[in-house]
Amino acid sequence: MLSEKYPEEVRKIFAKYPPEQKRSAVMPLLYLAQRDDGYITKAAIEEIARMLEITSTEVAEIVGFYTLYHDEKAGRYRMQVCTDLPCALRGADRFLEELCGNLGVKVGETTPDGLITIEAVMCLAACDKAPMFQVQAADGISYHENMTVDRTMELVAALRKSGKEVK
Amino acid sequence: MAHLLLRHRDIPDIDRLDVYQKNGGFEAFRKAVTKMKPQEVTDAVRASGLRGRGGAGFPTGVKWSFIPGDIWPHYVVANADESEPGTFKDRELMERNPFQFLEGVAIAAYATGANAAYVYLRGEFWPVATSLDGKIADMEKAGLLGDGLFGTGFGLRIFTHLGAGAYICGEETALLESIEGKRGQPRIRPPFPAVYGLYGKPTVVNNVETLTNLPLIVEKGADWYKSLGTADSAGVKIFSLSGHVNKPGNYELPFGTTYRDLIYNHGGGVTGDRPVKAIMSAGASSAMIVADARALDTPMDYASVRGLGADLGSASVIVINDSIDLDWVINKTIHFFKHESCGKCTPCREGCYWMMHLIERIGRGEEVQASTELLHDVARQMQNKCLCPLGEFSTMAVTTAIERFPADFKTSPAGGSHA
């Protein structure tokens, strides 16, 4: 239960909005629900619906509409490479293809150890620093800019090491 | 000239409150609250000629003047959704010069009588939001936010709100829906947010860069601000330069700088020393400009860019050299809009879908001429029928690429040259 597990965060989230507008808390609460496993469970959707006094469909449609919410388990880290026009003009498509080759996966797939899911995404507002990607983990997002395949593989190795420690 | 918006490039550590204040920070906010009436602030912003920097270019002071005085409370919302392919200026401002932006939010709130302001950031800006939360806390500790500011009756709180990956939330009514905890889909207008905005209350929505200009205008006056730039485009602008240039990045320049100056002087020239073939002046939402000598020597201001059959928009300049065929370029932009279409109105939802299938047929070399004609037709039929600018923007590059670069749609398989 979110309200039992993260009482301080839940209180801070509700304090941002007028008391009679608590539906506004749905997006931050969904991020909180995603914090542990990187995806949102049906139980979490139902709990948030109860907290906000809206239907679980109204919560689920938010999960479906916005791309940073996930309702299925994937790799511990989602490596999201921007392949939009400005990045592509700086070689992002080639970068993604080579990276997939190095990792032995296709776009959308997860490495066999369950560590990394590779995704192609739309513009991340870093067009001058392509090739670039963001890493979405359960508890946050980080940008990696002006990347090469070699440097990305070093990052993967580092994540693999730290991921094992966590497990 | 020293930077007016990207001040962190001249003053180290200006993202620290003490450094920002040592350099005159929050004096404009203090001046507004203690020495000016809200209406006087609005009048000054109106007289300065400041226009919205998010893309629409609507006069900021005029937008504020639509806020009614008989419906309360009022809200100010900073649009930090920055998601247009080719645009990356607001992120730099919020990361590196955050207090000037937040001071702008505070001034806008005072002028429009709002006691609460929200900063709506795209979800990918998670670390930026975390950093801004810290800056807001610094302001609260320093007595720059809260109740009874500067010994007056005016109080203000600022909150951040993270989106979760949806370009459409840059459209101001979709953004408001998103803060309200709903899907980010545009509202039918009128009523406009100035009357019926956040929670149904009068709301001003301004872009990050727009707001960052406000401390300058209050401090130095409308006449000084107007003296920068050109007749119809006052002030300075951050141009986000990307694509085939040697030095992509943000460049703060007076309005009226030419494309040639931006690309060859500031941007270090074109990748591979090749000629520029096309310029997109306003990110993926842009019409395709044929980069001939006339275009390169065109001053970048609202009126002059319109003379090229395009718009200045958010001033996100994407440079495309002659190694690329434009059918590949619009394949990219169409896929973007197809992905980001919110699905609410039929012309955009269905139109983007069909444009995507047609450009893929062209890419495979299937009935290129007939497919191109049909693609042009579909795009033209979408125009002026969509609920919000997203659908309209999705067609701009498509129709102009076909009309202005017909040779790029006669090639055979694989869609010709691509990056």
Distance (Å) of CA B272 to CA A89, B68, B292, B321: 12, 55, 18, 9
**Contact across the interface for A123 and B85, Cβ inside 8 Å:** yes
- The ranges of chain B annotated as CATH 3.40.50.11540 are 7-226
Give the pLDDT confidence score for residue A167 in this predicted structure: 42
Q: Which residues pair with B242 in a beta bridge?
A: B318
**Contact across the interface for B180 and A24, Cβ inside 8 Å:** yes
Q: Could you count the other beta carbons within 10 Å of the beta carbon of residue A105?
A: 17
Considering CB atoms only, which of A65, A134, A140 is closest to B184?
Answer: A65
How many CA atoms does the CB half-sphere of B407 hold within 13 Å?
Answer: 6
pLDDT category at B231 given cuts 50, 70, 90 is confident
- E strands along B58-202, which residues? 74-80, 114-121, 157-162
- The ranges of chain B annotated as CATH 3.10.20.600 are 236-321
Q: Are A26 and A96 in the same domain?
A: no
CA-based nearest distance A103→chain B, Å: 23
* 3-state class (DSSP) for residue A108: coil
Per-chain mean pLDDT for chain A: 94
Chain segment B61-74, per-residue pLDDT in tens: 999 999 999 999 99
Give the pLDDT confidence score for residue A37 in this predicted structure: 86
Domain B326-415 of CATH type 3.40.50.300? no
Mutation target for A interface from B93, B182, B321: give the one with most A CBs within 10 A: B182
Contact residues, chain B, for A127 at CB < 8 Å: 85-88, 240, 242-243, 248, 316, 318
Q: Distance between CA B378 and CA B382 in Å, rounded?
A: 6
Considering CB atoms only, which of B90, B242, B340 is closest to A86?
Answer: B242
CA-based nearest distance A135→chain B, Å: 10
Q: How far is CA B280 from the centre of its chain?
A: 14
Which of the listed CATH numbers 3.40.640.10, 3.40.50.2300, 3.40.50.11540, 3.90.1150.10 matches domain B7-226? 3.40.50.11540
Chain A contact present for B83, CB below 8 A: yes
The CATH number of residue A157's host domain is 3.40.30.10
Which range of residues forms the domain containing residue A11? 2-65
The answer on pLDDT for A163 being more than 90 is no
> Among A13, A40, A65, where does a domain finish?
A65
B379 touches B354 (CB < 8 A): no
The answer on pLDDT for A1 being more than 90 is no
Chain A contact present for B395, CB below 8 A: no
Rg (CA), chain A: 18
Contact residues, chain B, for A94 at CB < 8 Å: 419
Check: complex ipTM more than 0.90: yes
Considering CB atoms only, which of A68, A86, A91 is closest to B165?
Answer: A68
